[in-house]
Amino acid sequence: MTKQIGSLAAGKVVQRLTRAAAFDAAQIRSQNAAADLAERSEPMVYPTVNVYCEKIVNNMAEKFRCFSGAVQMAVEVRHSQDRLSGLQEALEASVDSVMQTLQTNRGDWSDGMYYAGGFQAVFTAVKHGGRNYLQTAKVTFEIGVSIS
């Protein structure tokens, strides 16, 4: 059951990001993979967006439900380019698109899932990788789940 909840939630996030037209479908993946492994496995289109479930908590908030709790989701945005100049600004623009998509999609996501709002974005330092320089940001948020 928990595998299905995490995959279903990731699919709903991917749908919303794709509909927002900020990212092409080729840029979005539903997986939690390290940047160096992902780059070796197939060609990358930057910015790359990885959507995955970090944590599933069934706290039985509604006692007679099969699952009543929260799913913590992560949207990891990776941007790479050959010059250091402008890298952070480009990454911030992509993260802004993710945050805007979340803000406009508050409410019922169907299938017993809802997004009440709220998120956190964390930016990492620039490192070597991708097209020479690589920087990553991770947006985390919770989706409430209540299913019978």
Q: What is the pTM of this model?
A: 0.91
- Give CA–CA dist 26/16, Å, rounded: 15
Average pLDDT over residues 89-95: 96
pLDDT digits (tens, 9 = 90+) for 36-51: 777 777 778 899 999 9
pLDDT digits (tens, 9 = 90+) for 46-86: 999 999 999 999 999 898 898 999 999 999 999 999 999 99
Residue 138 has pLDDT above 80, yes or no: yes
Query: What are the Cα distances from residue 144, in Å, to 1, 6, 72, 136?
Result: 15, 12, 9, 26
Is domain 2-147 classified as CATH 3.40.630.30? no
Range with the lowest mean pLDDT among 6-10, 28-32, 140-144?
28-32
Please give the angle made by the CA atoms of 121, 126 and 130, to the nearest 5 degrees.
105
Average pLDDT, the chain: 91
